Amino acid sequence: MKKKVVIGMSGGVDSSVAAYLLKKQGYEVIGIMMKLAPDDPDYAENEGGCCSLSAANDARRVADILDIPFYVMNFKKPFKEKVIDNFIDEYLEGRTPNPCVQCNKHIKFADFLQKAQALGADYVATGHYAQIINEDGRYLLKRGVDDKKDQTYMLYNLTQEQLAHTLMPCGEYNKTEIRAIAEEIGLHVFRKKDSQEICFVPDNNHGNFIIKNIKDKVKPGKFVDKYGKILGEHKGIVYYTIGQRKGLGIAVGRPVFVTGIDAKNNTVILGDEEDIFKTDLIAKDLNFISFEKLTEPLEVEAKIRYSAKMYSAVIYPLEDGRVKVSFKEKQRASTKGQSVVFYKDDFIVGGGIIDEVL
């Protein structure tokens, strides 16, 4: 009897080819589009967005070509509660969240897996570029073979239970090969561009999105220097993030960068670029994949954002359950709310949310 796989289909080339590869491997494949974005014309008409009408039509056409069942499943309520509300709350606290990390943690590999298992599925699958390896009974997460497309940074929260019931067939290919497969089997999405923006912020202006949702909580405040001297007025802390230089709307006679955000006093701290280079940080909400718990200092490679390079670091367990991360080289714009992810060779050790920058 064939193993049953429920695959999340976004209408993009990666999930489309993943569905094809799984069927070719002998699985019974069911395609499901997760409806995540709120009911809003901006999302429905956002050409190429993951929850747009065009994306749903693309996914349905691919399913027809592959001759697999296809359904749309409503996840709007948990997505709003666990991803969008968190996104807004974090910005109001002067932090810069990563909604894709939260979506993977709470929706795509938790709620979605539960729904799939309720349908009798053995696995869920996605088009992520990552590899799941079973080594001596423990599931490990390995970088995808395409270094430029590797998405393990976004997946560090996966648990052993989730890894045991997840398939990621694209991880063994590079993007060029995936597009070539799509073209070869006649999938019209083979030329489709990758989505770059946050799926629920179609114009990529997170500040305006937050204002639209909670206008009364965002108020103008003061730009100050590190000594507290007032330099000007900002339009609301949600518009700024650490390391930002452009779009500040202030001139002080030299280039200045956002070096801090004080939500309590509603101030944005500006300084020189050298002020945003730090070596040490504290991370919370840890998840480890290669072992259960960090009990002693460990040398790793680590990075502080998806697009960043990896640098040598040592991670130290703290008594309160957090970890201290000490990089051997200064990192530019370590940002509270973003994730720091740890690697050994090509495997994920684990990761967490940046809580303090020291």
pTM across the whole model: 0.93
Distance (Å, rounded) from C-alpha 37 to C-alpha 232?
36
Distances (CA, A) of 25 to 18, 30, 136, 169, 173: 11, 14, 24, 10, 15
Distance CA 269, CA 2 (A): 59
Q: What are phi and psi of 43, to 5 degrees?
A: -80, -45
Other Cβ atoms less than 10 A from the Cβ of 168: the count is 24
Catalytic residue set: 103, 199
pLDDT of residue 72: 94
To the question of domain 219-271 being in CATH 2.30.30.280, the answer is yes
Structure tokens at 154: 């976004």
User: In the chain, where are the structural domains located?
Assistant: 4-185, 219-271, 276-357
**Tell me: domain 4-185, CATH 3.40.50.620, correct?**
yes
The CATH number of 276-357 is which of 3.30.930.10, 3.10.28.10, 2.40.30.10, 2.40.170.20?
A: 2.40.30.10
| Dihedrals phi, psi of 333, to nearest 5 degrees | 60, 50
Count the alpha carbons within 13 Å of 237 in the hemisphere toward its beta carbon. 26
Q: Which is it for the CA torsion 38, 46, 109, 23, positive or negative?
A: positive
Q: What share of the chain is helix, strand, coil (3-state, %, to 5)?
A: 30, 30, 40
CA angle at 191 for the pair 17 and 9, rounded to the nearest 5°? 35
Neighbours of 328 (CB within 10 A): 10
Can you say whether the dihedral through the CA atoms of 344, 346, 352, 357 is positive or negative? positive
If one counts every other C-beta atom within 10 angstroms of the C-beta of residue 90, the result is 20
Instruction: Using alpha carbons, list the distances in angstroms from residue 117 to 4, 85, 165, 326.
Output: 10, 27, 9, 41
pLDDT in tens, the chain (358 residues): 889 999 999 999 999 999 999 999 999 999 999 998 876 655 555 554 556 678 889 999 999 999 999 999 999 999 999 999 999 999 999 999 999 999 999 999 999 999 999 999 999 999 999 999 999 999 999 999 999 999 999 999 999 999 999 999 999 999 999 999 999 999 999 888 877 678 888 788 888 899 988 878 899 999 999 999 999 999 999 999 999 999 999 988 899 999 999 999 999 999 999 999 999 999 999 999 999 999 999 999 999 999 899 999 999 999 999 999 999 999 999 999 999 999 999 999 999 999 999 9
d(CA 100, CA 194): 15
Q: Pick out the residues of the known binding site for ATP.
A: 8-15, 34, 127
Using CA atoms, how far apart are residues 167 and 124, in angstroms rounded to an integer? 6
Which pLDDT score, from 0 to 100, does residue 203 have? 80
Contact present, 96 and 242 (Cβ < 8 Å): yes
Bridge partners for 133 per DSSP = 140
- Whether 90 and 98 have beta carbons less than 8 Å apart is answered as no
331's tokens = 């990192």
Residue 300 bridge partners (DSSP): 313
